[in-house]
Amino acid sequence: MTDFRDQKRYDAHQEAMRNSRRAKQRAVARATQRKRRMVLVALLILPVAIAAFAFTWSRAGDGTKKPVTQAEALPEQSAADQAVGGRVAMPDHIRGVHVTSYAVATPGMFEPIMALADPKVGMNAIQIDIKDERGEVAFSTPIPLAKEAGAHMNIYDPVKVLRRAHEAGLYVIGRIVTFQDGYAPGTSRTLAVQTRSGALWKNDLGITWLDPTNEASWEYPIQLATYAAELGFDEIMFDYVRYPTDGNTENIVFHDPGRNRDETITTFLKRASRSLKPLGVHVSAAMFGLAATGDLGIGQKPGKLRNTLDAVYPMLYPSHFTDGQFGISKPGDTPGPTVAAALSDWRRRTNGGTMQIRPWLQDFTLGGITYGLPQVLEQIAAADRTGAGGWLLWNATCTYTAGAFAGTNGQP
């Protein structure tokens, strides 16, 4: 993943990675030399050490420890980490927003979002799209399939954006839309969901899908995630990590139609986690809000991943629930109780696991009542009260309610 071809855009990052490798090689060489010297010195001073032992032991009570210098106390930071301002540790309680790649590249949209950054009492995380719902990859990569498919959009410079966010103290979550993809399937049809006639299957929006039953199709999103981890994203979130739900699903032909859906998605996420976590990045997934309430038939079983993923982000937009769900007549008009009821199911399904539950909350209006500050704060209060490990706000236009982060210190 370090064979960069887009030199003009990523010269700085390439040099950083080379410097990192050289530094590691020099460190190994120095360590070997030090060991050899230590053995030689030990042989030379062994008689003196034996003679001095009694004296040293007698003065053990009043000896002083050598102070640890700052250089010795701090771990060595790689050049790659330095290029993006170093990684930001995962907060105990996530408070952030969704930002599209185009919003990142538009100062009039991105600057108001960055102005919300206040790691101590306000926004401490930001979710930025890497690969979106259309299959567009926000920046150039060395991944052959992305190049062949024409998926590279060069919308923002990830190194500059990561440095900006990290310097503001923000934990950066990179979102990868996994199987819905309007580019890659057209280049490699064997990886695509197909119709009975052998054509590329498309959903209601006219977008093709990678076939989740074909493990060869898993490599592309995992390669993107690996590259993003090497760049310095703090967490990778897999979205649309499921089977298709809209469109003529009866006309779908999968590579392995008999494969168990739950096992398919679970195995993919476990493989992705095994590949990514050694790189120092956290791994998560976004799931339907009702995935913990019942079997949706799309492969999302949160209980199977409770000790695999670092976090799960259930989409708990109250307006998306049908009337009567959770015994609530109008969920969209009752945001607090709706979020609390849904999270109750999520806690029950993932009980005993290490995976944090961080709901997506609604900061947009869709039918019913108008969503403003009271409705947003009501959802936040419900999430905090029920012990969620944080939350993210969703608005497709990336315009967020003023005051939503004021004093949201993560306490119920």
CATH of the domain at 234: 3.20.20.80
Q: What are phi and psi of 359, to 5 degrees?
A: -70, 150
The answer to whether residues 187 and 241 belong to one domain is yes
Checking if the pLDDT of 83 tops 90, the result is: no
Report the pLDDT value the prediction gives residue 15, as an integer from 0 to 100: 54
The answer to whether residues 138 and 257 belong to one domain is yes
Say if 243 falls within a structural domain. yes
Give me the number of domains the chain comprises.
2
The answer to whether residues 373 and 227 belong to one domain is yes
The answer to whether residues 233 and 343 belong to one domain is yes
Say if 399 falls within a structural domain. no
Report if pTM > 0.85.
no
Cβ-based neighbour number of residue 168 at 10 Å: 18
Report the pLDDT value the prediction gives residue 303, as an integer from 0 to 100: 96
Give, for 144, the enclosing helix (H) or strand (E): helix 144-148
Checking if the pLDDT of 70 tops 80, the result is: no
Tell me the C-alpha distance between 90 and 34, whole Å: 36
Tell me the C-alpha distance between 83 and 231, whole Å: 9
Say if 400 falls within a structural domain. no
Tell me the C-alpha distance between 186 and 28, whole Å: 46
Q: How far is CA 129 from CA 102, 165, 267, in A?
A: 9, 14, 24
The answer to whether residues 93 and 59 belong to one domain is no
The answer to whether residues 239 and 267 belong to one domain is yes
Say if 382 falls within a structural domain. yes
The answer to whether residues 222 and 302 belong to one domain is yes
pLDDT tens by residue, 244-262:
999 999 999 999 999 999 9
Say if 405 falls within a structural domain. no
Question: What's the token pair of residue 56?
Answer: 């040293």
The answer to whether residues 68 and 100 belong to one domain is no
Say if 263 falls within a structural domain. yes
Cβ-based neighbour number of residue 209 at 10 Å: 27
Q: How far is CA 290 from CA 212, 224, 356, in A?
A: 21, 28, 17
**Residue carrying the six token digits 């690969």:** 131
Close Cβ partners of 44 (under 8 Å, ≥ 6 residues apart):
none
Close Cβ partners of 215 (under 8 Å, ≥ 6 residues apart):
none
Percentage of the chain beyond pLDDT 90 is 77
Say if 411 falls within a structural domain. no
Close Cβ partners of 15 (under 8 Å, ≥ 6 residues apart):
79
Checking if the pLDDT of 344 tops 70, the result is: yes
Report the pLDDT value the prediction gives residue 95, as an integer from 0 to 100: 97
Checking if the pLDDT of 55 tops 80, the result is: no
Determine the structural domain holding residue 193 and report its residue range. Answer: 86-394
The answer to whether residues 213 and 295 belong to one domain is yes
Task: Please provide the average confidence, as pLDDT, over all residues in the chain.
Answer: 86
The answer to whether residues 109 and 69 belong to one domain is no
Range from 18-27, 88-97, 129-138 carrying the lowest mean pLDDT: 18-27
Tell me the C-alpha distance between 410 and 286, whole Å: 21
Pick from 391, 394, 266: which is nearest to 340 by CA?
391
Say if 79 falls within a structural domain. no
**Residue carrying the six token digits 């105990």:** 92
Range from 70-74, 151-155, 261-265, 397-401 carrying the lowest mean pLDDT: 70-74
Pick from 134, 64, 69, 123: which is nearest to 96 by CA?
123
The answer to whether residues 41 and 154 belong to one domain is no
The answer to whether residues 112 and 28 belong to one domain is no
Q: What is the DSSP letter of 156?
A: S
pLDDT tens by residue, 174-197:
999 999 999 999 999 999 999 999
Report the pLDDT value the prediction gives residue 37, as an integer from 0 to 100: 55
Q: Which of 15, 38, 73 is the endpoint of a domain?
A: 73
- Mean of the pLDDT values across residues 317-325? 97
Confidence of residue 81 (pLDDT cuts 50, 70, 90): confident
